[in-house]
Chains A and B, each alone.
Chain A
Amino acid sequence: MIGAGYYAKGVILVVVGTVDLAAGLNAPGKAAGGKGFGQALNDALQSLSDSQKKADQTVENFLTGGDVDPSQVTVAMEEARVKIELAVEVRNQIVNAYKDVWQMPI
Chain B
Amino acid sequence: MKGGIRVNLFTSFSISASALTAERLRLDLIANNLANIDTAGKPGGAVYQREMPVFAQRLLQETGTDGQPVSVPGGVEVTAVVRDNTPPRLKYDPGSPLADNKGYVAYPNVNVVNEMVDMMTAVRTYQANVTAFNAAKAMFQKALTIGKT
A-side interface residues toward B, CB under 8 Å? Answer: 51, 69, 71-72, 75, 78-79, 82, 85-86, 89
Contact = CB atoms under 8 A, between A and B. Distances in A.
B17 A71 contact: yes
A72 B10 CA distance: 14
Contacts of A51: 10
- Chain B interface secondary structure, helix, strand, loop or mixed? helix
Given A69-B24, A86-B144, A75 B17 contact: yes
B20 A82 contact: no
Given A72-B20, A82-B140, 20 more contacts: A51-B10, A69-B20, A69-B21, A71-B17, A71-B21, A72-B17, A72-B21, A75-B13, A75-B17, A75-B20, A75-B133, A78-B13, A78-B133, A79-B10, A79-B13, A82-B137, A82-B141, A85-B141, A85-B144, A86-B144
Task: Report, nearest first, the 7 A-B pairs whose CB atoms are least far apart.
Answer: A71-B20, A75-B17, A89-B144, A79-B13, A69-B21, A82-B140, A85-B144
Interface of B: 9-10, 13-14, 16-17, 20-21, 24, 133, 137, 140-141, 144
B53 to A, nearest CB: 15
- Chain A interface secondary structure, helix, strand, loop or mixed? helix
5 contacts: A72-B21, A75-B13, A82-B141, A85-B144, A86-B144
